[in-house]
């Protein structure tokens, strides 16, 4: 019998992120508490740029964006938001969406599988994703359950289950 496998990835659907940003932009334009404070949110290359006239307002813009991401099914573990910083007369927050699993994170996940997962399961790091292989599909499903219950700092998706 051939080995079964699946891939562990950490990717954000760009279209869903864009939809969340557009919804946040509309809400910011319409909400009364954002009138006259220069609040805005927009793409700035690969980053999301949030602006407002005070530190509290720009934090509220970030909160609106986070709520829209959650509604669109994007984990907040994928959002890497910086601290508010002053830029002239306004405050800004730059945030980026994490794509791929970093090498040190991949090593942590691989170590977790090796130590706590079923013995027949092997994990290989392949660039910014992991391939998990085993003869038993049940062991692979057990590994997925283990990773879902683990408290990791990254958002994981399980794809290509064969």
The hierarchical CATH code for the domain 4-11+101-159 is 3.30.70.860
What is the full per-residue pLDDT of the chain (162 aa) written as tens digits? 568 888 888 888 889 999 999 999 999 999 888 888 888 898 888 899 999 998 899 999 999 999 999 999 988 888 888 899 888 889 999 999 888 888 888 888 889 888 888 888 888 888 888 888 988 888 888 888 888 888 888 888 888 878
Over residues 12-47, the pLDDT tens digits come to: 888 999 999 999 999 999 988 888 888 889 888 889
Q: Where in the chain is the domain with CATH 3.30.70.990?
A: 14-97
Q: Give which of 128, 77, 121 is closest to 107, Cα–Cα.
A: 128
Q: What is the CATH number of domain 14-97?
A: 3.30.70.990
* Delimiting residues of CATH 3.30.70.860 domain(s) in the chain: 4-11+101-159
Long-range pairs of 27-32 with CB within 8 A, sequence gap ≥ 24:
27/64, 27/68, 28/61, 28/64
pTM for this model (two decimals): 0.81
Closest CA to 54 of 85, 23, 29: 85
């Amino acid at each position: 019998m051939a080995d079964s496998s699946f891939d562990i990835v950490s990717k954000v659907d760009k279209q869903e992120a864009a939809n969340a940003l557009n919804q946040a932009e509309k809400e910011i334009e319409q909400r009364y508490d954002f009138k006259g404070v220069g609040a805005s949110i927009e793409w700035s290359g690969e980053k999301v740029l949030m602006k407002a006239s005070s530190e509290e307002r720009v934090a509220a813009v970030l909160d609106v964006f986070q709520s829209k991401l959650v509604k669109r099914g994007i984990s907040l573990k994928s959002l890497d938001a910086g601290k508010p910083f002053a830029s002239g007369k306004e405050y800004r927050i730059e945030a980026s969406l994490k794509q791929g699993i970093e090498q040190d994170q991949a090593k942590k996940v691989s170590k977790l599988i090796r130590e706590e997962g079923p013995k027949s399961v092997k994990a290989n790091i392949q660039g910014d994703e992991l391939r998990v292989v085993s003869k038993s599909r049940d062991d692979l499903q057990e590994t997925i359950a283990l990773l879902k219950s683990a408290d990791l700092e990254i958002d994981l998706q399980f794809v290509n289950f064969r």
